[in-house]
Chains A and B, each alone.
Chain A
Amino acid sequence: MARFRRNIVPYLFLLIPVIIYLVWVIGPMFYTFYLSLTDWDGLTSPTFIGLRNYERLFHDKVFFLSLKNNLKWLLAFVTIPVAFGLLLAMALNKSIPGEKIFKMNFYMPMVLAMVVSGLIWGWMYHPKGGLINTFLVATGLFKKGPGWLSDRDIVLYSIIIVAIWRQVGYVMVLYLAGLKSINPQLLEAAHIDGATGWQTFWRILLPLLTPVTIIVLVISVIDSLRAFDLVSIMTRGGPANASSVLANFMYIESFNNYKMGYGSAIAVIIFLISLGFIFLYLWRVMQDELEY
């Protein structure tokens, strides 16, 4: 009887949340898949047009430009904030003087409204009066500071910097929680056994943090492919689409140009790319997961 109860229990636990999720998220998601096969202005009824939207996408210069930008963003996100966040979490894990202040300081960017972050950094990037350029010119190394947001070659990176500024705190919080779940006795045992700091880190700590790292990498991929707010606020994808990213492109097509079908197609592409990265990764990782 206990066996039967145990078998049914997971389903009971999952019943309500899964239903809620199906109705509010998965349902609309499939509706979006359907919409990508239509021409819809968002107001009247959609008209079915098959794969026309996708055909159009493959001829759209802006699409490929946005895709390239997202991939650059992805590369930046799975490396820099992850490494940095981990280092910070490790440094702040012990009781060091002022640790609460440090933690709050690094988390603060996440807390500040995106609009304001975009605004502040916009001022910092100001070509003449901005903080960064004023500083650079003052050091005498530059005659004129670079056009952080107006130069088509560097605008994307300028925005990615702001994204990293925000993301590091997020990753730090995740790793802090992860570190707290690790049994300190394990680390002590290694120390007693004569392992060096580096060995302890690489061979013991990092593997123990794997579940967290999985989360961190997955969300880094997702967040970089879905990046939207900062681009929308700081440059709207400009100048001339140089900083365009897929989500921004999708938003403009859907809401500005009343082409919700086309926008949905872009969303589906984002979905498929994320799916590709994540599911391959998760599937492999889950094979290795310890059985219970």
Chain B
Amino acid sequence: MAVIRDVMPAFQLYQPSSVADAQKLLGQNGSDALVLAGGLDSMDWLKDRIKKPKVVVDLSGVSELKGIRETPDGVEIGAMTTLTEISTSPVIRQKYSLLSQAAEVVASPQIRNQGTIGGNVSQDTRCWYYRAGWPCYRAGGNICYADTPVGRNREHAILHSERCVAVNPSDTAPAFIALDAKFVVMTPKGQRVIDAEDYFIGPDIDITRMNILQPGSLLTAIRIPSTWAQAQFYFEKVRDRNVWDFPLMNVASAMKSSGDNIQDVRIAVNAVAARPLRLKMVEDSVRGKPRNAATGEAAGKLAVQGAVPLQFNAYKVPLMRNLVKRAIGGVQEAAWAS
């Protein structure tokens, strides 16, 4: 039968107005259902006719999933809050500017107006082979087209590649990991609260999913504890174009210092592996050390240990080294006299 990558196939559209209704619908339909948040990931799959769900559950009418609430312990962000709301939120900008910085550089203004935080952290990989509908491991097949002797893999993984070399493209995910955020997931068995880094899974564990969400589950909110409020933050996204581009890599760190020394730090990078990586070894190695260029250098070198570049992504190794270096040791800013 011929393949056509155009025109959405038919499906039943449900637009619940409460989480309970949404959950019920997802429970009833299991793997036949697709969750639609901002639609920026889902619409591609639908229009390309690669995913043909019987049911689409559109969460845009669930108001309880929207908004940023201050809690005694920090803030809780509803999964359907848009990236624009996050990047412009006064409380986020004041206390957790790491996240507002990350949200502000996602894609383009139009996409940030429509894209949700739940969607941003839960989005599928952008590997162009997988997205073209090729039957790769991630699509349930038995091959990785990107990691072949001729595969075009400039944007692919350098770490934790287990058969699949796709990367997670989320800009906000590493910020959440650095902020020690908790993800609130409603499952058919009840609510689970998970550490940000445990929300994501690599191909070694499940090659067809990017996160722990099983059919019937729903990410409802993300909680940021006040632990790292107003810490020293560093976020940098490196991309080809200055707007409307996925990261070639990004780094997010939150740091507390006492005097010149690093008292505590959390750091994560994304687009180097199929899941955002928290760099625990780096964190442990720099704790108690002075925050300077030498510590940064050492941290950068440690971060890329074990990295295996592919044919076209060798740049990711020095890039990761340098980004971690900057996140830990700071940036040597240019100061032009003229």
Q: Is chain B a partner of chain A in the same complex?
A: no
Interfacial residues, chain B to chain A (CB-CB below 8 A): none
Question: Which A residues fall within an 8 A CB radius of B?
Answer: none
